[in-house]
A and B are shown apart, each in its own frame.
Chain A
Amino acid sequence: MKESILAVRRAIDELDIDGIGALAVKCLEEGLSPEEIIQEGISKGLEIVGRKFEEGEYFLADLIMAGEVVKEAMPILKERMNPGGRGKGTVILATVAGDIHEIGKNIVGMILSANGFEVIDLGVDVPAQRILDTAKSSGARFIGLSALLTTMVESIREVVSAAGAAGLRDRVKIVIGGACTSMELCKEMGADAYGETAIDALRIFNDYAAGA
Chain B
Amino acid sequence: MDQVILQGIPFDADERGLMELLRIRPGTKNASEFSSILAQAKTLARPKAAFGIATARTVDHDAVEIDGIRFTSRVVRINLEKAGVVFPFVATCGTELEDWSQGMTGMLHAFWADSLMLMALGSAVGVLESHLKERLGGGAALSTMNPGSLEDWPLGEQAALFRLLGDATEAVGARLTDKMVIRPLKSVSGISFVSEEGFTNCSLCPRQGCDSRRAPYDAGLYGKRYGL
* Chain A residues close to B by CB (< 8 Å): 15, 17-18, 59-62, 64-65, 67-68, 98-103, 106-107, 110, 149-152, 155, 179, 196-197
Contacts and interface: CB of A to CB of B under 8 A. Distances in A.
Contact of A152 (B29, B107, B114, B179): B179
B214 interface: no
Given A149-B148, A150-B154, A61 B22 contact: yes
Interface of B: 21-25, 28-30, 107-108, 110-111, 114-115, 148, 154-156, 177-181, 185, 207, 209, 211
Contact of B179 (A18, A60, A107, A151): A151
The SS class assigned to the B binding surface is loop
Contacts of B29: 18
Contacts of A15: 23, 25
Contacts of B177: 98
B23 A149 contact: no
Given A149-B148, A149-B180, A68 B28 contact: no
B198 to A, nearest CB: 25
A61 B110 contact: no
Nearest to B185: A100
A17 B148 CA distance: 39
B20 to A, nearest CB: 9
Contacts of A107: 107
A103 B30 contact: no
A59 B28 CA distance: 20
A149 B180 CA distance: 9
A65 B23 contact: yes
B140 to A, nearest CB: 31
Contacts of A68: 30, 107-108
B179 A17 contact: no
A46 to B, nearest CB: 15
13 contacts: A18-B25, A18-B29, A61-B21, A61-B22, A64-B107, A65-B108, A101-B185, A103-B110, A103-B114, A151-B180, A151-B181, A155-B179, A196-B209
Given A64-B111, A68-B107, A155-B179, 20 more contacts: A17-B30, A18-B28, A59-B211, A64-B107, A67-B107, A68-B30, A68-B108, A98-B178, A98-B179, A98-B181, A99-B179, A100-B185, A103-B111, A103-B114, A106-B107, A107-B107, A149-B180, A150-B155, A151-B179, A151-B180
A101 B156 CA distance: 18
A155 B179 CA distance: 10
B157 to A, nearest CB: 11
B155 A149 contact: yes
A69 to B, nearest CB: 10
Contacts of A155: 179
